[in-house]
Structure 1
């Protein structure tokens, strides 16, 4: 995927090995039904575009709220019970990359329910982003084992309750296996949480700067200074977590108000 983001128009991949790179490649070309080339988005064809500088991105950002509700017919190759968990990953520009992991549901691969585990992804450049759902089985040793995956371009997503058909490592459909999710998409600059979004972007910029600074200091052998910056990085990460909790609380309160209005008028 990084090769496409840098403007490469022809990349060599090992089609005999069903790894993450091949699954991302299959997902990328879903935009045209896997029947030909994918035209580079307009943002990539501007003179100021750089995949390493999010300030050069001149498109509207996108916030995706995803709630994992449940799944069905999750099976492994060998006999035995399945203890599944779901990982959701955004793959795109470095500033857009993010992951979310649900809890593990013990011994239920038939119809596991995750009690509406939800997360928010802030995407600076949705035109270049993919979303990847991966379902893993946690074995008795706590190690993950692949059960199924699904990868889509972010621009192909639609809001609402969605059934996500799962595929195997070769991106071939798994019969009956699917996830049930709820998706909300919005422009964060136009919503009521625009202030929180702005604060989060500033904190993430600070996080990236501190991480780069720590790496430089460690290469120079300045351990004491690196430790000081690491403390500041930890504080920044805590503030990001606090802002995300505040956003989740505000979103929940907003939903409650909508439900109250509907019940009052009915």
Structure 2
């Protein structure tokens, strides 16, 4: 090698060098405590798993863990076949086999209660590929949602006058339609890939009676025996359980409006949508998480006197006791397929929230309507959701398909908190985190306090500030994987990032908070070694939020990964936390080493 060549290599030697992680001081100290002569035997490991990781494992189970680790890290234990050295122990902890929540798809909640006792993974306008005004409609986002465990798919169905057929599209907008039959066939094929528990199809119906009959035939032909059809055409007296509805498709819709009424609403909505597109205004939605990194805030169109009304028109619920003219225009074969009836009784919100002991139904409220209703009717909403289903959907001005704070709905017992799954952002990350619980089956049993009624008909009051029940302690040791996965995380391989981590809680207002580590400059393997405490008044609803960003002094901070975890399933001890991209897809290598404990 010539001198000149050597100098070139020397200049770049530091930048090309692969980053190698080293065990933090706490890990070294634990290894010294649970080992002998530099080796951790099965007895040592069993004690470590019991005392530090708080796992109820037998010695035989500890032997299985040891054998798996010895096999996986055999290149680190060349001279030791029956025990772990420090490096292998560190790799064992910082490995995907040591996750912060159970990694199995095992369903462990009681699934024999009525559907109203569960939070259900719910999509909004499930057919849209992008924004609410001009994106294409397709079955692809429906398939993607089902593969992620979403259990409620929403379809807006409209007449296709040129073909005498039915399309799915966002009415009154510029969205390009997709055929309803294509959406149904994709649902049938992919419904139970991620979960065996029932899929609910909510239909926003804008059809004439003859097309309703055509849709009824379509549903019956495509879904066949998979379709759950209730006895008779009246409302159910009580919802069946998820267990009894395994691998079944359920139809939910309101008593249909007349076609001319729908057409008028669509024309009005189209005019308003055109105004919004022409104005092109936007503002930042802070959501409910406190001040956030700017490039991850959800932008929505300005909410003023010219607010887009289309969503309200599309989503408004129709009266259960519709007049005789409307009733006569409902195709009976279509009505028989509706298992979960939707509608608003006459008389305002007080009547809407009355609990009928002889029937159950679905009520829909926009996020704004729920916020306003919760100020006065909080306990009434909780009481209603003990038997009935409440669906909450994004306000119509979220034309960019952003989302809202799901905790408002969950803290009032709302089962179907409907989200735009095709977007991204912190609200959606929290939604994804909540439904990692219960094996990711798409159904999470509501906490007991939302289901119980006291001796004087008292129920949980979402406005009442409770005392602290538990305190979560979180220690962020370090992170790694960005160097090896920089193609997916968009970092420059030749310029080490300046990383900082953010850890916090999404929960009721009293529990919601975010905290931040220091920023470490020029380091592919940041070792923050910082600890945080989170007092929790309602830990049953809390979701742990974790993010990593790169500090950028001149521009927006760059995204480095995120994950959200249901606190109800968080394991204690030292865990390897895999990070995901902004859409929720897991990175190949990027993860954090963290410690969790409750006091």
TM range (shorter): 0.5 to 0.7
The answer on 1:10 being equivalent to 2:425 is no
After superposition, residues 65-76 of structure 1 pair within 5 angstroms as: 65-74=473-482, 75=486, 76=489
Change (3 A) 1:52 1:145: farther
Change (3 A) 1:78 1:65: closer
1:28 to 414, 430, 434: 434
The answer on 1:82 being equivalent to 2:508 is no
Query: Counterparts of 2:463 and 2:559 in 1: how far apart (Å)?
Result: 31
1:12 CA drift (Å): 2.1
1:126 CA drift (Å): 1.0
1:102 CA drift (Å): 0.1
The answer on 1:99 being equivalent to 2:514 is yes
Query: Counterparts of 2:501 and 2:555 in 1: how far apart (Å)?
Result: 14
Partner of 1:165: 578
**Structure 1 gap segments, 5+ residues each:** 187-266
Helix, strand or coil for the counterpart of 1:170? coil
What is the TM-score normalised by the length of structure 1? 0.64
After the TM superposition, which segments of 4 or more aligned residues of structure 1 sit over 3 Å from their partners?
Answer: none
Q: Deviations over 1:156-215 (max 9, x none)?
A: 1121111101111111110110001111212xxxxxxxxxxxxxxxxxxxxxxxxxxxxx
Helix, strand or coil for the counterpart of 2:462? coil
Task: Tell me the matched-pair count.
Answer: 181
Q: Greater relative contact order: 1 or 2 (C-alpha under 8 angstroms, separation 6 or more)?
A: 1
Helix, strand or coil for the counterpart of 2:574? strand
**Structure 2 gap segments, 5+ residues each:** 1-405, 453-457
Query: Counterparts of 2:412 and 2:426 in 1: how far apart (Å)?
Result: 19
Query: Counterparts of 1:147 and 1:131 in 2: how far apart (Å)?
Result: 17
Whether the aligned pair in 1 keeps the contact of 2:573 and 2:596 (CA below 8 Å) is yes
Q: Which structure has the highest helix share of the two?
A: 1
2:589 to 151, 156, 176: 176
After superposition, residues 113-262 of structure 1 pair within 5 angstroms as: 113-114=527-528, 116-141=529-554, 143-186=556-599
Partner of 1:112: 526
1:20 CA drift (Å): 1.1
Q: Deviations over 1:76-105 (max 9, x none)?
A: 314243111000110111111121100011
Partner of 1:205: none
Whether the aligned pair in 2 keeps the contact of 1:148 and 1:168 (CA below 8 Å) is yes
Partner of 2:69: none
Whether the aligned pair in 2 keeps the contact of 1:67 and 1:181 (CA below 8 Å) is yes
Give 1 or 2 for the bigger CA radius of gyration.
2
Whether the aligned pair in 1 keeps the contact of 2:491 and 2:497 (CA below 8 Å) is no
1:50 CA drift (Å): 2.0
Helix, strand or coil for the counterpart of 1:67? strand
The answer on 1:53 being equivalent to 2:474 is no
Whether the aligned pair in 2 keeps the contact of 1:84 and 1:106 (CA below 8 Å) is yes
Helix, strand or coil for the counterpart of 2:509? coil
What is the TM-score normalised by the length of structure 2? 0.29
Whether the aligned pair in 2 keeps the contact of 1:52 and 1:94 (CA below 8 Å) is no
1:143 CA drift (Å): 3.6
1:142 CA drift (Å): 6.6
